[in-house]
């Protein structure tokens, strides 16, 4: 297998295309909010959502009816052309690479609104070859459209082969911005026996041992997380490649409690954000993917107690050292990035008093 040398990795893949980035910017993306640009009611809500959500994503793939694919593409061009997105990123999810729509999706979007598009989400990615295809095509279209900065790529992890290849996918191109878990397609592809869009299943459990040998007696049941393995594998692949991991869709829109739990598990495991399918999921994601006041208060106390950052100290009966300091700095740095774009959070974090 031939590998590119580092100098080739960072050369544009088409004459006239912008140079690839050497580092993916850490732009807040707590909620990637999906809307169908062919749905007039949803489209009408988009301009007012600017500034309330980190990412607005015009979805062209699943959940858009086949008859509306062209209207969705054209609707996205119209919304992007007419809207000032300010601090909010604009992403799109293109149709799958084997579909009859994807070539026109990319040609139209990059040449007509390429300068407004931050990230292209690619569904059903199987391996690095899919990223290489989109990488070259984007470069050709950026050159054709005179796009000034590289459009980044985000892969959805939603096939068994994709999961097997996740490390190669994560490092397939300097355009790789991140990866999201796609639990619905992944479940189908793996032939899992579930029918939900993300979340848990009451049948996937661990049961307490029988008390006094009574197998029919009262025994506590602990529901397990169906997605733990895949999210952890995805987080490691992304962290190793210097890109960002995300949870994906949570389809039970009414169950805001379970959505919050699923999002928080992903946050604690290392994800930076999640998808939002309905306006009511945005507030949950923004809250869960922002460090809490308690976390920041503790993290700042550890930073203060650790002085030059080396050695070991006791704080509230617990040992803190270089490694726990690094964990605290993850939270402090994230809080600073979020405060820079979210005035309410800035006020909250600025008001924290460290004793
Ligand atoms: C499963 C794997 C995947 O691929 S998940 C990603 C693909 N799926 C999606 O993108 C789904 C996006 N969301 C939706 O289509 C809708 O939210 C669904 C779930 C169908 C619910 O819609 P609906 O029954 O209209 O909800 P509702 O009556 O509570 O809506 C209230 C008002 O809000 C609007 N709304 C709804 N969803 C969005 C959205 N995502 N973005 C912007 N606006 C949205 C509705 O149009 C409705 O507006 P109005 O008050 O009637 O003017
Ligand atoms: O596209 C997302 C999924 O869960 O499938
Ligand atoms: Mg999918």
How does pLDDT run across 242-252, given as a tens digit for each residue? Answer: 999 999 999 99
Name which of 282, 300, 286, 289 is nearest 351 in CA terms: 300
Mutation probe of ligand 2 site: the residue of 96, 154, 197, 226 with most atoms within 8 A of C-beta: 197
Are both 95 and 160 inside the same structural domain? Answer: yes
**Total number of domains constituting the chain:** 2
Cβ contact 179:154 at 8 Å? yes
- Among residues 289, 315, 334, the one where a domain terminates is 289
Same domain, 173 and 301: no
DSSP for residue 278: S
Whether 277 lines ligand 1, by a CB cut-off of 6 Å, is: yes
- Over the stretch 221-235, which tens digit does the pLDDT of each residue have? 999 999 999 999 999
Q: Which domain holds residue 340?
A: 294-351
- C-alpha torsion sign, points 198, 199, 202, 203: positive
What ipTM was reported for this prediction? 0.99
Question: Are residues 122 and 203 part of one domain?
Answer: yes
Tens of pLDDT along 288-302?
Answer: 999 999 999 999 999
Confidence tier at 2 by pLDDT (50, 70, 90): low
Which atom of ligand 2 lies closest to the CA of 181?
4
Same structural domain, 107 and 166: yes
User: 316 phi and psi, to 5 degrees?
Assistant: 50, 40
User: d(Cα 162, Cα 154) in Å, to the nearest integer?
Assistant: 13
Residue 15 lies in a domain: no
Task: Specify if 263 maps to a domain.
Answer: yes
Q: What is the CA radius of gyration of the chain?
A: 22
């Amino acid at each position: 297998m031939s590998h590119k040398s580092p100098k080739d990795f960072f050369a544009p893949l088409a004459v006239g295309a912008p140079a690839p980035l050497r580092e993916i910017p850490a732009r807040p993306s707590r909620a990637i909010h999906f809307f169908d640009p062919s749905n007039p009611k949803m489209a009408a809500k988009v301009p007012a959502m600017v500034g309330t959500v980190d990412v607005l994503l015009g979805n062209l793939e699943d959940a858009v009816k086949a008859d509306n694919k062209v209207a969705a593409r054209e609707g996205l061009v119209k919304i992007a052309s007419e809207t000032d997105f300010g601090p909010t990123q604009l992403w799109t999810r293109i149709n799958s690479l084997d579909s009859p729509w994807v070539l026109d999706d990319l040609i139209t979007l990059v040449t007509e609104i390429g300068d407004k598009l931050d990230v292209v989400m690619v569904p059903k990615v199987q391996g690095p070859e899919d990223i290489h295809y989109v990488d070259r095509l984007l470069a050709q279209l950026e050159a054709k459209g005179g796009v000034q900065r590289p459009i980044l790529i985000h892969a959805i992890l939603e096939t068994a082969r994709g999961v097997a290849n996740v490390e190669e996918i994560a490092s397939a191109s300097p355009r790789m911005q991140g990866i999201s878990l796609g639990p619905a397609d992944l479940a189908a592809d793996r032939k899992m026996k579930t029918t939900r869009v993300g979340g848990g299943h009451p049948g996937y459990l661990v049961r307490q041992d029988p008390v006094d040998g009574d197998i029919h007696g009262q025994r506590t049941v602990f529901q397990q997380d169906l997605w733990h393995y895949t999210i952890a594998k995805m987080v490691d692949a992304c962290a190793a490649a210097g890109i960002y991991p995300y949870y994906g869709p949570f389809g039970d829109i009414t169950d805001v409690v379970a959505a919050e739990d699923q999002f928080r598990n992903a946050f604690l495991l290392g994800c930076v954000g999640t998808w939002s399918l309905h306006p009511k999921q945005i507030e949950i994601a923004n809250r869960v993917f922002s460090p809490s006041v308690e976390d920041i208060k503790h993290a700042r106390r550890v930073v203060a107690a650790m002085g030059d950052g080396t050695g070991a100290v006791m704080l509230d009966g617990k040992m803190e050292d270089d490694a726990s300091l690094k964990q605290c700095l993850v939270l402090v740095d994230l809080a600073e990035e979020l405060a820079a774009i979210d005035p309410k959070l800035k006020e909250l974090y600025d008001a924290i008093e460290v004793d």
